[in-house]
Amino acid sequence: MRRLFYVADDLDTTRAVSDAVHEEGIRDHDFHVVSRDEAGLFRHRIHSAMTYHQLDVIHTGERWALAGVSVGVAAVLLLKLATPWDFSPDAIASAALVAFGGLFGAWQGGMVGLTRENYKLAPYHHELEAGRHVIMIDVPREREHDVRDLLRVRFPQVQAAGEDTTLINPFETPPRIYRQNTH
């Protein structure tokens, strides 16, 4: 799926966009709005983005899980190759150590991710700080053209701001890390 990003200046326009895309068959599950005005989104009954869309919990968790797995593998290799005593972990102990490293890394990364804005929102950070609203619409490739045309024709005041995939890539590095200040 593709994620289309749009930026709107006010909540009335955002609500109108929400209604229009819902008429086109886009469900709430595929329509999210990130705004510093959460109360305004609630009052206008606009589907707010989930916490994992706003914060970098999953992305940072994945990255730290990979680091934890690497540390676990290094620990197993160290125990197998460089121990001064006659001890070598078996396959189950090795797998448990690697799994523990990965799970501990994922947990630590998730905690760090709670303090960061989602890396996919970094290009729109200044728009959010200026009080604008970032609209994210998840569409299958075959419907992408229809949604783009709908917004271009009916809402020329809404700025097309970019596109991305809905997948979270742990190897993608944001241009800048912004500390979260939305909650």
pLDDT digits (tens, 9 = 90+) for 82-135: 776 777 778 998 999 999 999 999 999 999 999 999 999 999 999 999 999 999
Tokens linked to 69: 């797995």
DSSP state of 100: H
Sign of CA dihedral 123, 47, 133, 9: positive
> Quick one: pLDDT band at residue 80, thresholds 50, 70, 90?
confident
Residue 8, exposed/middle/buried by CB under 10 A (0-12, 13-18, 19+)?
buried
Residue 125 near residue 178, CB atoms below 8 Å: yes
- Is the pLDDT at 33 greater than 60, yes or no? yes
Distance CA 68, CA 78 (A): 15
